[in-house]
Amino acid sequence: MNARNYLIALVVAVVINAAAFVGMDLVVRSALNSAQHAMVAPNSVIPVLPVITVRPTHEEVRAAFAGQDLASAAHPDFGMPFYSFAAKPTAANKG
């Protein structure tokens, strides 16, 4: 009688594990299917943000403060940095 209970418990455990493996297989197949549909074609063009031009550039700042301590230098003619988004959008190849 006792061996029968162990056998039933073993069969139930195997069935539960089999169901878990089947469920995981379905989830993995679904994820792979979704990923294949979402993949970008290798020769397609991916839109990217336009180039941002920052003024003054690093070289302009270095030239303006050449030989001076940046913490104590006050230059009223030195303009505030600004960002230019006026450039046309560009596109980059995936490669």
22's tokens: 């089947």
Residues 32 and 66 in one domain: no
Residues 23 and 60 in one domain: no
pLDDT at 87: 57
Residues 7 and 50 in one domain: no
Domain residue limits at 66: 42-95
pLDDT at 88: 56
What's the pTM? 0.39
- What's the structural domain count of the chain? 2
Residues 31 and 48 in one domain: no
- Residue 44 · residue 14 · CB < 8 Å: no
Chunked into runs of 10 residues, the chain (95 residues) has average pLDDT values of 87 96 96 83 76 75 69 53 57 53
Residues 46 and 35 in one domain: no
The Cα–Cα gap between 95 and 92 comes to 8
Q: Which residues contact 89 (CB under 8 A, 6 or more apart)?
A: 47, 48, 49, 50
